Amino acid sequence: MQGNCNIAAALAEVAERQPDDIAIRCPTGVDRQGRVEYGVQMTYAELERDSNDVARGLLALGLTRGRRCALMVKPSPELFVCMFALFKAGVIPVLIDPGIDKRALKQCLAEAAPLGFIGIALAHWARRLLGWARGSIVHTVVVGRRWGIGGFSLRAVRHLGQGRNDPLCHTEADETAAILFTSGSTGVPKGVIYRHRHFLAQVELLGRAFGIQPGGVDLPTFPPFALFDPALGLTSVIPDMDPTRPARANPEKLVDAIERFGVTQMFGSPALIDRLSRHGARTGTRLSHLRKVLSAGAPVPPDVVERMQRMLPDDAEIWTPYGATECLPVAVIEGRELAETREATEQGAGTCVGRPVEPNIVRIIRTVDGPIGRWSDVEELPPGEVGEITVAGPTATECYWARASVTTAAKIHEALGESLEDDGVRVVHRMGDLGWFDEQGRLWFCGRKSQRVETVEGARYTEQVEPIFNADPRIRRSALVGVG
C-alpha cells in the first residue's frame, strides 16, 4: 500500500467495495425470554465515516501524529471507531490487557506515558483513583456515560471532527503504529512496538494462512483479533461474554450467536474452546455454519480439538496458530494433523505446532540464557535437537518500549551482507520457547525456556513431561516443577 502504509487504508477500501455490509454487531441486553439482543450494528460505510470524524476531532484536540494515547474500551462499535480513528490520525494507541494485576497495569502506563486516555467511565475512575499516568495525560475522552468524569465525550469529539477536512495521516512503513503490552503470563508485561508494516503483514499472513475471504462472519472472543476483521472484510459479531474470563463464557450464548448470524469462523482461547466443546459433547450441539475455528494463546490439547471437531461440519477446519505478541503467526497446524500427532505428544515428543507460515524464517538455536548480540555467535541446531525457537520475518517486531535490556535479551541482529555495518541487517526474535523440527519440517513446542528443569540426566521440558501424565484419565492437569 504505497503512500499510506496504514491498516486503516484497508478499511477505506472495504467500505468502498461493500459499504452497506454489516461490519459489527454488538449485544445490548436480553429480551423477555432471556435471549441476548444484538441491538447495535454498524456498516462499513458508517465505521469509515465515524472513524474519519473522530480522527479529525482528535487532531483538533491536540492529539496529533506520533503522540501516544491509552485505549481502554470494552468490545463494541466504539472500540473499532476509536482504534481506526487513532490510526488515521497517526496517534499511537497503547493497548494493555485490563485483566492483568493493577500494579503492573500502572507500571505499563507509567512507562508508556500517554498524552491521551480514551476509555469508559470505569477506566477513567480507576485512572484517577490509582494514579495511572498522572504525570503525562493531558487529553481525556469518555466513551459511553460519563458518570462525573470530565474531559470530552466521544460524541463531542466526533461532532468536533464533522465538517472538517483536515488531511488524515499517510503513515510510513517504519512509523510506530501501536504499543501492545504482553499479557504478563510469562513475566512482567512488556510494551511491544508495532510498526505500520507489521499490522499490514499480519493481515496478509493471517488471510493467506487460513484462507480468509471477504464476506465471512467472525465471532472474535479475543478483542485484539477482532480489530483485524474490518481490514479483512469480515463481519464481527461481538459475543456476550467477559473477554478477560473466557473459561467462564456461557456456551449457550456463543452457540446462539453462531447459529443466529451464520458465523463462519471464530477465534477463541483454548480455555474457551474447551468450555464450548464440553457443552457440545454434553448436548450433542452441531454448528452448521462454522467453517473455521482458530485457537491460540497456549497449546490446545488434542482431546479438546477432537471434541470441537465433532461439533462442526465434516469439511470445517480447526487451526491452532503458534506465535506471540512479538510475532504472529509463526506456524500453524490444522486439527486433523494435530490429532495424528497426539500419540507422539503423549509419549513425550512435545506439542506439534505445525509448519512455519511463509515467509517466516524459523530456526532452532542452542539454548542460551543470556543475550546474543549477533547471529554469527549463534549455534544453529539440526532437526531432532531441542533448542530455542527464533523467528525472522515481516511480522517479527524489533524492540520493546522503554525496555532496552529486555530488547537486548530478546533480539539478535543478523547481517545479510558481510557484516552488521552493511545495509542488510534484520532482527531475529527469540521466542523464549524451546522446540525442535522433525524431518517433515514441522515445529514441535517443548515449553518455556524459563520453565525447563535441569537434572543430572539433562534438561526436562514441560510440554514433553506433562502430557504423559495428563493422558491418564484420572489426572486433569499436571505441572513439571524443579524442587531440588
pLDDT digits (tens, 9 = 90+) for 247-264: 999 999 999 999 999 999
Nearest CA among 413, 411, 231, 451 for reference residue 326: 411
| Cβ atoms 67, 112 nearer than 8 A | no
Which residues fall within 8 angstroms of residue 234, CB to CB, at 6 or more apart?
Answer: 212, 214, 215, 216, 217, 218, 265
pLDDT value, residue 222? 83
The three state secondary structure string of the chain is CCCCCCHHHHHHHHHHHCCCCEEEEECCEECCCCCEECCEEEEHHHHHHHHHHHHHHHHHHCCCCCCEEEEECCCCHHHHHHHHHHHHHCCEEEECCCCCCHHHHHHHHHHHCCCEEEEEHHHHHHHHHHCCCCCCCCEEEEECCCCCCCCEEHHHHHHHHCCCCCCCCCCCCCCEEEEEECCCCCCCCCEEEEEHHHHHHHHHHHHHHHCCCCCCEEEECCHHHHCCHHHHCCEEECCCCCCCCHHHCCHHHHHHHHHHCCCCEEEECHHHHHHHHHHHHHHCCCCCCCCEEEECCCCCCHHHHHHHHCCCCCCCEEECCEEECCEEEEEECEHHHHHHCHHHHHCCCCEEEEEECCCCEEEEECCCCCCCCEHHHCCECCCCCCEEEEEECCCCCCCECCCHHHHHHHEEEEECCCCCCCCCEEEEEEEEEEEEECCCCCEEEEEEHHHCEEECCEEECHHHHHHHHHCCCCCCCCCCCCCC
**Cis bond leading into 329, ω under 30°?**
yes
pLDDT value, residue 418? 60
| Cβ atoms 332, 357 nearer than 8 A | yes
pTM, full prediction: 0.93
Tell me the three cell numbers of residue 440.
517433515
Categorise residue 217: left if φ over 0, alpha if ψ from -120 to 50, beta otherwise: beta
pLDDT value, residue 424? 82
State the Cα–Cα distance between residues 428 and 391, nearest whole angstrom.
Answer: 6
Which residues fall within 8 angstroms of residue 452, CB to CB, at 6 or more apart?
Answer: 367, 434, 459, 460, 461, 462
Residues of the chain where predicted confidence (pLDDT) is lower than 70: 1-3, 186-187, 417-423
Nearest CA among 480, 6, 462, 463 for reference residue 201: 6
pLDDT value, residue 420? 54
Question: Please, what are the domains in the chain?
Answer: 7-171 (3.40.50.980), 342-484 (2.30.38.10)
Q: Is the dihedral of CA 412, 417, 418, 422 positive or negative?
A: negative
